[in-house]
Every structure is written in structure tokens, then in C-alpha cells.
């Protein structure tokens, strides 16, 4: 029996532990300095907004861990000694392992701004961030959020529920335009402003200024404007939390370098989740995947390899979903922020400016390669099958109604999208099929 030690109790590490336990009788220890038990990190905003309590975010009862012989250790890993197969823990000192799985997650980025370590400056990634936000908002009368990612939108929505005015600083013309195509970026920017967020485009942070007590008093922008505030949210992305590996021989770049089996350059050491960086990413995937569902897939896939059933990571087409205030967002496959030479983009937007559908296909092969949806929901199984089966654009257009996830009496937009396609491709017009069902499998 081997002793498997997992650093991190997020979705990747816990999924690995659960599946290793299903497949083996090995001793398993999970180490985390953040919390006693696994919880849903994506639910932090709902705790703050009063929709849930912390105990509601724990998928398993506290007795689950003992029942399944999963030992939990609340401690912080300071270093890894690969030659001795030991960890240096802040409280317990040396801790031995036979197999080490690093699932240490991410940390909020700080880009070296003066004042970034003042009281009242924070990211939003873990329970400690949530606790800090609870304390600061007791007296805060204004907040400034720096950065246009998904966490920034969540933080803005959270603060608005406490009636704290928010200014959001973004470098770009529109929100998240390094990820979203221009039309969707403009759509989301309008949505942000409609919720009374003071969105400042083309505005960068210069410095965070302090009051007499070492807390935030205001921010200074590169435009020379000073904005008074008591809370600064730094939401300029996250990076792998791997500082404790400095000095070890485990190879790292931005994250811990792994192959498709999550193996590092050191035997019996693996990395999964936000902290792992693929040396050769799967087709259509990024080298670092910082998404909840991919962490779950990492953990389950690695469990088979740990238990002598070696399986390579094969996640299929990219998928992600989020919410921008009250507008749902979905992406399937590859949708570039700027259309590429080999692509054609069908884009339809509702006249109300709150729903849009984008379908991307290859010019030469006419194979569909991506979907971007705002305020409209498509079925994962249908879109995933189209992408995996390399469906051509005419086939997708003819059967588009089968992707729609919305309830029966909601308005459908398939005919509008097909009309948009017909304007682009008048030599090959499409009629929407009314009765024949497209077979997914």
C-alpha cells in the first residue's frame, strides 16, 4: 500500500482522491491551508450575496472523509524535497509521501503596483479573500475594480448587492475584448453600464494610495485621475500557485510542466488543475486550464494512471460558461477574439442588444469550429457532437433548432441566424428543417 499525498483540496485534488479511493486501497492524505473541507469555489459570490451559507457549498458531509479513509491535514506546504520524498510543512515539519499529486490551484495576480499590499486591496479566489471582503465592506463607501475578467464582473455584482458604488478600470475599449469578439465585448460593456457600474475604458491603474492607517484611500490612474475608494479589487487574472516549488528540481514555466498523463519530470510526482501546464496541450486547448470542470476531468483521469490503468487526458472540444450580470455566456470549440483569415463568422444580435449568436466555420473545409452565445443557451451534447463529428456549416444551419436549450414557449432565433447565413452565402441558401430530427449519435 502506497501513501498518496495530495496538495490542495480544490475540485482537481478532491476528484483525484475520490477516484483513487474507488480504484484502490492506498493511504490518501489531502493537505490544504485554506479550509478544513472541500467547498465549491464558484459559490463564493453567492455566500457574500446571502443566497447560500458556507455549509451549503460543501458537496459532502463532514463525515464523508473519515468514512472513505481520506485523511485531511490543515497545513501549508513550504517546500518539496524530491530526493527524500518529503514535504516541509509549516506546522508539522517533514511529511513523507510515496506519490505526490500537486493540485495547489491559482493565486490572484499582482503586477507590482505601488500600494498593492495595503489593507483593503484584494483578489477574489479563496475563503480568505471572501472574509477580507466581508470586513472591508462594513465601512467601504466606494470600490474600484482593476481588470476585465470574469472575477471582476462577479466582484462588481457582489458589491452592488451591498449598495457600494463600483468603478471598473479596463485597459481595452470594451470589456474582455482580448477574449470576446468585438460585438460581444461591446454587448457586455453595455450590460455592465446598465447595472450602474462606472466602466472606465482605456484606463490603467498607476498607484494605490494609502490613508494614515495603512488602508486604501484612493487609486491614481495613468490618466492622472484620483478616485477615492476604500476597497480595490485586483482581478487581472490568476496564475498557478507554485511559489513553494522554488528551489526544487520540478520543472516549471508559468505552471508545473506535465505531459498528457499529468506526469512531471520527477517520477511519482504529478500536477493537475490550475497549477498544471501541458508541455503539448490537447488540440484546441490551452496549456493551462483554469476552469472548474477541467479540474474535475484532470482529477478523474489521473486517478486511473495512479492506479495502474494509464489513461491520457483527452477532454474533447473546449467548453466554458459564465454570467455577465444577468446575461448567460457559453462558448463551444474555438472562437477567436479577432476573426482569422481561415475563418468565417456568422453573427446575429437581437435588436434589444442582450442576445447574440456567433457560429464560426472554416472557409476551405466548411467545418464548424466554434459557437459563442450570449443570453441564449444551446445544448452541450448537440454542440459537442457537431464539433467532434466535424459537421459542416450547412448541416448545422439545417438542424440548428435541435441545439436550442430554451424552454418550449421561449422565443427561438434559429431562423434569424439562418437568414444571416443566407446573406453571407447567397449561392447556397438554407431552409430550416421543420420536422426531420438531426441524429446526434
Per residue in 188-234, pLDDT tens? 999 999 999 999 999 999 999 999 999 999 999 999 999 999 999 99
Report the mean per-residue pLDDT for the chain: 93
Averaged pLDDT, 125-144 = 95
Q: Where in the chain is the domain with CATH 3.30.390.30?
A: 319-424
CATH code of domain 3-107+239-306? 3.50.50.60
Note the pLDDT of residue 433: 55
**% of the chain surpassing 90 pLDDT:** 85
Q: What is the pLDDT of residues 67-109, one digit of tens each?
A: 999 999 999 999 999 999 999 999 999 999 999 999 999 998 8
Total count of residues recorded for the chain:
441
CATH code of domain 319-424? 3.30.390.30
pLDDT higher than threshold 60 for residue 425:
yes
d(CA 297, CA 286): 15
Q: Where in the chain is the domain with CATH 3.50.50.60?
A: 3-107+239-306, 121-236
Name the CA radius of gyration of the chain, rounded.
24
Q: Which helix H or strand E contains 324, and what residues bound it?
A: strand 319-324
| Residue whose entry in the numeric block shows the C-alpha cell 484612493 | 218
Note the pLDDT of residue 312: 97
**% of the chain surpassing 70 pLDDT:** 96
pLDDT higher than threshold 70 for residue 181:
yes
C-alpha cell at 118: 495595503
Note the pLDDT of residue 412: 75
d(CA 152, CA 169): 10
Note the pLDDT of residue 436: 44
Distances (CA, A) of 262 to 13, 28, 107: 13, 18, 21
Note the pLDDT of residue 427: 83
d(CA 192, CA 199): 7
Instruction: Spell out the alpha helix ranges (H) of 109-260.
Output: 127-136, 150-161, 182-194
Measured CA angle at 157 (ends 155, 163), to 5 deg: 105
User: What band does 432 get if pLDDT is binned at 50, 70 and 90?
Assistant: low
d(CA 328, CA 374): 6
| DSSP-assigned beta bridge partners for residue 107 | 239
Crossing angle of helices 292-306 and 11-23, in 10° steps, is: 30
Q: What kind of fold does domain 121-236 have according to CATH? A: FAD/NAD(P)-binding domain (3.50.50)
Q: Are strands 27-32 and 70-74 parallel, antiparallel or unpaired?
A: parallel
pLDDT higher than threshold 50 for residue 152:
yes
User: What band does 284 get if pLDDT is binned at 50, 70 and 90?
Assistant: confident
pLDDT higher than threshold 70 for residue 437:
no
User: What band does 428 get if pLDDT is binned at 50, 70 and 90?
Assistant: confident
Amino acid at each position: 500500500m502506497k501513501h498518496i499525498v495530495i496538495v490542495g483540496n480544490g475540485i482537481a485534488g478532491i476528484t483525484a482522491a475520490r477516484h483513487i479511493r474507488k480504484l484502490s486501497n492506498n493511504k490518501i492524505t489531502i493537505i490544504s491551508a485554506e479550509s478544513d473541507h472541500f467547498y465549491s469555489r464558484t459559490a463564493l459570490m453567492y455566500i457574500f450575496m446571502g443566497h447560500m451559507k458556507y455549509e451549503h457549498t460543501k458537496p459532502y458531509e463532514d463525515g464523508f472523509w473519515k468514512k472513505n479513509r481520506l485523511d485531511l491535514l490543515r497545513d501549508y506546504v513550504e517546500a518539496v524535497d524530491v530526493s527524500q520524498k518529503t514535504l516541509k510543512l509549516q506546522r508539522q515539519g517533514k511529511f513523507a509521501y510515496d506519490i505526490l499529486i500537486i493540485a495547489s490551484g491559482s493565486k490572484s495576480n499582482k503586477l507590482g503596483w505601488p500600494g498593492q499590499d495595503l489593507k483593503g486591496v484584494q483578489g477574489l479566489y479563496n475563503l480568505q479573500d471572501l472574509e477580507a471582503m466581508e470586513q472591508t465592506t462594513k465601512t467601504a463607501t466606494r470600490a474600484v475594480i482593476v481588470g476585465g475578467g470574469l472575477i471582476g464582473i462577479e466582484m462588481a455584482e457582489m458589491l452592488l448587492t451591498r449598495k457600494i458604488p463600483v468603478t471598473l478600470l479596463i485597459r481595452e475599449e470594451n470589456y474582455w475584448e482580448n477574449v470576446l469578439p468585438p460585438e460581444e465585448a461591446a454587448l457586455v460593456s453595455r450590460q455592465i453600464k446598465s447595472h450602474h457600474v462606472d466602466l472606465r475604458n482605456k484606463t490603467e491603474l498607476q498607484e494605490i494610495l494609502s490613508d494614515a492607517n495603512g488602508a486604501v484611500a484612493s487609486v491614481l490612474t495613468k490618466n492622472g485621475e484620483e478616485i477615492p475608494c476604500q476597497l480595490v479589487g485586483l482581478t487581472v487574472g490568476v496564475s498557478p500557485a507554485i511559489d513553494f516549488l522554488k528551489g526544487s528540481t520540478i520543472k516549471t514555466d508559468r505552471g508545473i510542466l506535465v505531459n498528457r498523463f499529468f506526469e512531471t519530470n520527477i517520477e511519482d510526482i504529478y500536477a493537475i488543475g490550475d497549477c498544471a501546464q501541458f508541455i503539448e496541450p490537447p488540440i484546441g486547448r490551452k496549456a493551462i486550464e483554469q476552469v472548474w470542470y477541467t479540474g474535475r476531468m484532470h482529477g478523474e483521469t489521473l486517478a486511473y494512471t495512479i492506479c495502474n490503468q494509464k489513461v491520457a487526458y483527452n477532454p474533447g472540444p473546449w467548453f466554458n460558461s459564465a454570467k455577465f450580470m444577468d446575461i448567460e455566456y457559453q462558448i463551444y470549440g474555438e472562437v477567436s477574439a479577432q476573426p482569422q483569415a481561415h475563418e468565417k463568422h456568422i453573427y446575429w444580435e437581437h435588436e434589444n442588444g442582450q442576445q447574440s449568436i456567433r457560429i464560426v466555420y472554416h472557409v476551405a473545409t466548411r467545418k464548424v469550429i466554434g459557437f459563442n452565445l450570449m443570453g441564449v443557451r444551446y445544448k452541450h451534447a448537440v454542440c459537442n457532437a457537431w464539433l467532434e463529428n466535424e459537421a459542416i456549416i450547412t448541416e448545422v444551419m439545417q438542424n440548428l433548432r435541435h441545439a436550442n436549450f430554451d424552454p418550449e414557449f421561449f422565443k427561438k432565433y434559429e431562423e434569424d441566424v439562418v437568414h444571416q447565413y443566407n446573406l453571407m452565402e447567397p449561392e447556397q441558401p438554407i431552409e430550416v428543417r421543420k420536422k426531420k430530427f438531426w441524429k446526434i449519435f
